[in-house]
């Protein structure tokens, strides 16, 4: 009689994937979608609730305040990467992912129930910050553990394809937030209602969705890689001490994340504000354009992931690095000056196609760098530190430079960071050929 683990992980590694393994990948991915929906709902609805938590003033300044709290939420991500990465490496991937989604739902519920500034004064932004810090802790652990889980569950020759679904669901979380926003804007509520109380709906919805994610994650199978390493008597597994035995891998994670995370958060999280504040689109137009472009962006991830299974990870990363270095300034400059929604859409899609060279495979590349006993921590902690510094501050820096009157400086900042990552891509080995995941079977 085969055990569940054997059924989920047949010893022969080929292009086929068992139904039980596919169910595990689906369960992990859907849970990931709910987590990231909760995280992105804050950014999507900030244009409505910023005035509820801060005194009246300049619109850009109010967005700066909400962006500041957004950035502070990112500062909790390294702590989340450490806590949940350690839990995943010592106790199990499944248990770690279940705990993280519970914490995310608590943050969403707190935002939904917090009174406005006019009602409780300074306590309003304090409670908003507290909720965001809880969410930052949760999502900081989510990335490393889910990247590890999906990469370990995937078959050897299809790892790029199956692990790409982490970003499909990550983007899907943002799409879900935008879809709900479109529904509220165009069908259910007026602009005034959204501004007054309607922005609370997505956070209540997120808390309810977390119950679904909790159910799915409680019924996941554990990975073979974890089951194998659990039997080893490694005292330091899942610890920073063990992680520091792999300095080259840690530095590689930081370097390959630097430019990619900044570009990703610019073209996804910050873009909706950019379209309203710089391109001068209406909130409804920017929401629709963001939704359509992100939907196509999500569809691109498995295609790029499958391509990496054929030609390797490194060519895609180098392609992103070169195109990002030379095209970022022209694309954002043209986007900031366009008056056509169609042109804006094409420019945004061109940017997202370039970024797909990073987003589609970054999870599996990082997972392939570390052994099983420190993989979740190795993927999550250095990534979270880099994202906190560069991804989390992206829209704050962009809005600050705009308020200062030098918005184009931000375009050059992105370019420089992508160039730094390009240097890492050029000199690193292709992880498809040197994967530590191959040692787990």
Full 3-state SS string of 201-252: HHHHHHHHHHHHHHHHHHCCCCCHHHHHHHCCCCCCCCCHHHHCCCHHHHHH
* Measured distance CA(391)–CA(263) in Å, rounded: 8
| Number of neighbours of residue 39 by Cβ within 10 angstroms | 26
Do residues 99 and 153 lie in contact, with contact meaning Cβ atoms separated by under 8 Å? no
What the chain holds in terms of domains, given with CATH numbers, is 24-219+245-438 (1.20.1250.20)
pLDDT of residue 296: 94
pLDDT of residue 11: 40
Stated length of the chain: 441
User: pLDDT 10s per residue in the chain (441 long)?
Assistant: 344 443 444 344 445 666 777 777 777 777 778 878 887 787 778 777 777 776 665 555 555 566 666 666 667 888 888 998 888 888 888 888 888 888 888 888 888 888 877 788 778 778 888 888 888 888 888 888 888 888 888 778 888 888 888 888 888 888 888 888 888 888 888 878 887 788 889 888 888 887 777 777 777 777 777 777 776 666 667 788 888 889 999 999 999 999 999 999 899 878 878 888 888 888 778 888 888 998 999 999 999 999 999 999 999 999 999 999 999 999 999 999 988 889 999 999 999 999 999 999 998 999 899 988 888 898 889 998 898 888 778 878 888 888 888 888 999 999 999 999 999 999 999 888 888 887 765
Which of 413, 407, 132 shows the shortest CA–CA distance to 274? Answer: 407
* Measured distance CA(404)–CA(400) in Å, rounded: 6
pLDDT of residue 10: 39
Which of 423, 363, 26 shows the shortest CA–CA distance to 221? Answer: 26
Instruction: Spell out the residues 6+ positions from residue 156 whose beta carbon is closer than 8 angstroms to its own.
Output: 13, 14, 437, 438, 441
Which residue is associated with the tokens 């900042």? 413
Q: Strand, coil or helix: what is 281?
A: coil
| Number of neighbours of residue 162 by Cβ within 10 angstroms | 23
Q: Strand, coil or helix: what is 253?
A: helix
Q: Classify the C-alpha dihedral 56-62-68-69 as positive or negative.
A: positive
* Measured distance CA(319)–CA(76) in Å, rounded: 32
pLDDT of residue 7: 41
Which 3-state string (H, E, C) describes 141-189?
A: HHHHHHHHHHHHHCCHHHHHHHHCHHHHHHHHHHHHHHHHHHHHHHHHC
pLDDT of residue 396: 80
Which stretches does DSSP call E strand in 226-366? none
pLDDT of residue 69: 66
Number of alpha carbons in the 13 Å side-chain half-sphere of residue 410? 30
pLDDT of residue 306: 93
The pair of three-digit structure tokens given for residue 250, joined into one six-digit string: 């840690």
pLDDT of residue 283: 78
| Number of neighbours of residue 336 by Cβ within 10 angstroms | 18
Instruction: Spell out the residues 6+ positions from residue 176 whose beta carbon is closer than 8 angstroms to its own.
Output: 33, 37
| Number of neighbours of residue 244 by Cβ within 10 angstroms | 11
DSSP 99-152: HHHHHHHHHHHHHHHPPPHHHHTTHHHHHHHHHHHHHHHHHHHHHHHHHHHHHH
Ramachandran category for residue 55: left, alpha or beta (phi over 0 → left; psi -120 to 50 → alpha): beta
pLDDT of residue 4: 44
Which of 391, 303, 289, 398 shows the shortest CA–CA distance to 344? Answer: 289
Which residue is associated with the tokens 């490194």? 314
* Measured distance CA(110)–CA(102) in Å, rounded: 13
* Measured distance CA(246)–CA(392) in Å, rounded: 26
pLDDT of residue 404: 87
Instruction: Spell out the residues 6+ positions from residue 408 whose beta carbon is closer than 8 angstroms to its own.
Output: 329, 333
């Amino acid at each position: 009689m085969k055990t569940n683990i054997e059924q989920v992980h047949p010893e022969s590694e080929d292009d086929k994937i068992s139904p039980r393994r596919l169910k595990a990948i689906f369960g992990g991915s859907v849970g990931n979608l709910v987590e990231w929906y909760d995280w992105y709902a804050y950014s999507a609805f900030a244009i409505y609730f910023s005035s509820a938590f801060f005194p009246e003033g300049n619109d850009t300044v109010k967005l700066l305040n909400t962006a500041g709290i957004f950035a502070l939420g990112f500062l909790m991500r390294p702590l989340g990467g450490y806590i949940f990465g350690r839990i995943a490496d010592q106790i199990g991937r499944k248990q770690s992912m279940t705990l993280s989604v519970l914490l995310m739902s608590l943050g969403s519920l707190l935002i939904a129930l917090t009174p406005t500034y006019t009602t409780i004064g300074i306590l309003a932004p304090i409670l908003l910050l507290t909720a965001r810090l809880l969410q930052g802790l949760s999502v900081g652990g989510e990335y490393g553990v889910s990247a590890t889980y999906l990469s370990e569950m995937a078959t050897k020759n299809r790892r790029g394809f199956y692990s790409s679904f982490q970003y499909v669901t990550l983007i899907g979380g943002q799409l879900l937030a935008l879809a709900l926003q479109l529904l509220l804007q165009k069908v259910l509520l007026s602009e005034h209602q959204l501004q007054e109380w309607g922005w609370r709906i997505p956070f209540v919805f997120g808390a309810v969705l977390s119950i679904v994610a909790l159910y799915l994650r409680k019924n996941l199978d554990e990975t073979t890689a974890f089951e194998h390493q659990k039997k080893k008597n490694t005292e330091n597994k899942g610890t920073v001490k063990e992680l520091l035995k792999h300095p080259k891998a840690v530095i590689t994670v930081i370097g390959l994340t630097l430019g990619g995370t900044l570009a990703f958060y610019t073209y996804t999280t910050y873009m909706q504000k950019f379209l309203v504040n710089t391109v001068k689109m209406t909130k409804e137009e920017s929401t629709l354009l963001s939704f359509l472009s992100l939907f196509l962006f999500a569809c691109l991830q498995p295609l790029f992931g499958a391509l990496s299974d054929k030609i390797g990870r490194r060519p895609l990363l180098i392609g992103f690095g070169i195109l990002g270095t030379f095209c970022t300034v022209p694309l954002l400059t043209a986007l900031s000056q366009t008056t056509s929604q169609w042109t804006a859409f094409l420019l945004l899609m061109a940017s997202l196609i370039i970024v797909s060279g990073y987003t589609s495979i970054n999870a599996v590349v990082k997972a392939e760098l570390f052994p099983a006993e420190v993989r979740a921590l190795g993927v999550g902690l250095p990534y979270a530190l880099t994202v906190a510094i560069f991804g989390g501050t992206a829209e704050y820096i962009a809005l600050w430079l705009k308020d200062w009157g030098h918005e184009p400086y931000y375009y050059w900042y992105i370019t420089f960071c992508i160039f730094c990552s390009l240097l890492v891509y050029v000199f690193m080995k292709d992880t498809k050929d040197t994967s530590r995941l191959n040692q787990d079977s």
